A and B are shown apart, each in its own frame.
Chain A
Amino acid sequence: MKRRTLLAGAAALSALIAAPAMAQDEPLKVGFIYVGPVGDGGWTYQHDLGRQAVEAEYGDRVETTFIESVPEGADAERALTQLALAGNKLIFATSFGFMDPTINVAAKFPDVKFEHATGYKRADNVATYDARFYEGRAVIGTIAGRMTESNKIGYIGSFPIPEVIQGINSSFIHAQKVNPDVEMKVVWAYSWFDPAKEADAAAALLAEGVDVILQHTDSTAPLAKAQEAGAIGFGQASDMAAFAPSPRVASIIDNWAPYYVERVGEVLDGTWESKATWAGIGDGEVEIGEITEAVPAEVKAEAEALRDAIGAGEYHPFTGPLNKADGTAWLAEGETASDEDLQSMNFYVEGITAQIPQ
């Protein structure tokens, strides 16, 4: 009798303990790892806005956490594992260099879903997502080509990877289209976020006579340097409105919120699938920040027309005829670049005299 009550009690107790885990209202835990600090005012800041949008959309049904300033490399694996062990069922890895760590950790946690930004390796539980930044680059390249007086445009690159090279090519093609004399000078910072180094890189470009600076690094330092020298630049990843109306004359904004909200929703209703998403201006994932009054009205109108044409799918920024820098033919008249071509882009288009570091 006594033993029976004990057993019954134990069963009741274990049911009690197990109940919350099975209950419907247990929030979905969603984790994020960021390559920079959330306060970088650029790339990571935008991803964190996306995370906040997820919280705002689903309220108590989700619980989000993030780990910031995670170095690309072995440490990322530790951070991802930590998130998976903490019970996160959906994890966003928000930098290119997290690609292999994400794949490795995903193999160990088959019931956890992973999303990797800007990469190309997928698995059953690893999806990839990216934004067509090169569409935005086409628009600001047009502005750059119109605005330069020295006909020299500077570009601060982070790492020589396809995503960045697409941006350099797209900017150059569209700058050259409106200004055939334009020259592109490229400096690699070998960092996504190093304000002092980005400032030095901008200073080096300015000393070379550049008067328009484009950047594919995440801090506002190049804008500060541009301002000192009377040059102009563009907000990168985030609006960087503190530098408007000049030197920041426009910006490329990454808007991850719609994608994050959609994917979290799919996990909640069980329809999530591994896939590759590559959205652009038309999907609202890439936005062009306000073009300020420092830009003449006709240039602004031209840039906005290009933005709308790209958004509507009427125009592809990589439309032939285009040759590679070594003079070989790439795209024929009217031909557009395929996504595969773009995702493995490792060459400059004709007219850029710099070399891609190997």
Chain B
Amino acid sequence: MIDPLSVFLLLLSASTPILFAALGELVVERAGVLNLGVEGMMITGALAGFAVAHATGNPFAGFVAAAVAGAAISTLFAALTQAFLANQVASGLALTLFGLGLAAMFGKPFEGVKAPPMPAGPLGINWIVWLGLLAVPAIWWFLTRSRRGLILRGVGENHEAAHALGYDVRLTRLAAIAFGGAMAGIGGAFISIATVLQWTEGMTAGAGWIALAIVVFSNWTAVGVLAGAWLFGGVTVLQLRLQAAGVNVPVQLLSMAPYLATIIVLVLISGRQKYSRRAGAAAPGSLGQNFHALR
């Protein structure tokens, strides 16, 4: 009755914004930084991307601008937490509020104008969706197989030890935060440039918070992030499709499912942690802690 392929195609596009944002946050958290400003960075990217795409007529230029803008606003968080050692939770929340307000203010002239159409990529799937899918193995490879990725994880697991070994904790974290900002920016721009084709205030509507939940759900792995993004995106798409097909489904139950899954995964993780703490599992050891080199 419902063609699974069409559901899958819808799912790919629905999950792309949260996939980008969550992959970025994954790298940030693996470096030991908890940045709750994902929503603020996404909306900044959504506006900057839309503005540039509209001005140049080129959607891809928009995505580049979104990445730059996301990274730029994330340096604010980086400065607060890495240089001034401010509390990461408070700084992250401030970044979200600041980003939403800033975008609302600068977005006024772009209300009511349309984005240029986006050319379809291979197999009729948006280029940015492909980019997101390619980013998953790339980040997996970076985090588990590359030297720099191992250093980044080392910094996140135990920043004192990484520092003692001579790695620059602060620089590593700065780079990770900027990367997270760029990814969140692209995710936000996907909503404004590829999905909605217009700028509206507050258009990310909480996607940044879902991305944060997905990172926890993923147990801090790239493949887990993909699974989480597809679960969240898939449930959204599926419940809408079932409704459109006239199937009487308890919508509330379906909408609840991803959050329930996150809680279950959290319980399972905490259970496993008691018995074994092997590499590649559960939260980075120094997550959310500020680092100050004493020696």
Contacts and interface: CB of A to CB of B under 8 A. Distances in A.
A216 B195 CA distance: 19
Interface of B: 3, 6-7, 10, 13-14, 17, 104, 107-108, 111-114, 117, 191, 195-198, 200-205, 207, 236-237, 240-241, 243-246, 248, 250-251, 255
Given A69-B202, A187-B243, A224 B113 contact: no
A220 interface: yes
Given A37-B200, A204-B240, A242-B198, A196 B6 contact: no
A200 B10 contact: yes
Contacts of A219: 196, 198, 200, 203
B237 A200 contact: yes
Contacts of A154: 244
A353 B240 contact: no
A260 interface: no
A187 B246 CA distance: 9
A242 B113 contact: yes
Contacts of A355: 246, 248
B244 A207 contact: yes
A220 B198 contact: yes
B205 A196 contact: yes
For the side of the interface on A, what is the size category? 35 or more
B240 A196 contact: no
B126 to A, nearest CB: 11
17 contacts: A187-B244, A193-B200, A195-B198, A196-B203, A197-B236, A199-B196, A200-B10, A201-B244, A208-B244, A219-B200, A220-B198, A221-B197, A224-B114, A224-B197, A224-B198, A227-B197, A242-B113
Contacts of B205: 191, 193-197
A168 B263 CA distance: 37
A354 interface: yes
B249 to A, nearest CB: 9
Contact of B237 (A190, A193, A204, A224): A204
A141 interface: no
A220 B196 contact: yes
A41 interface: yes
A204 B243 contact: yes
The 6 closest A-B pairs by CB, nearest first: A37-B201, A224-B197, A204-B240, A39-B201, A221-B196, A195-B196
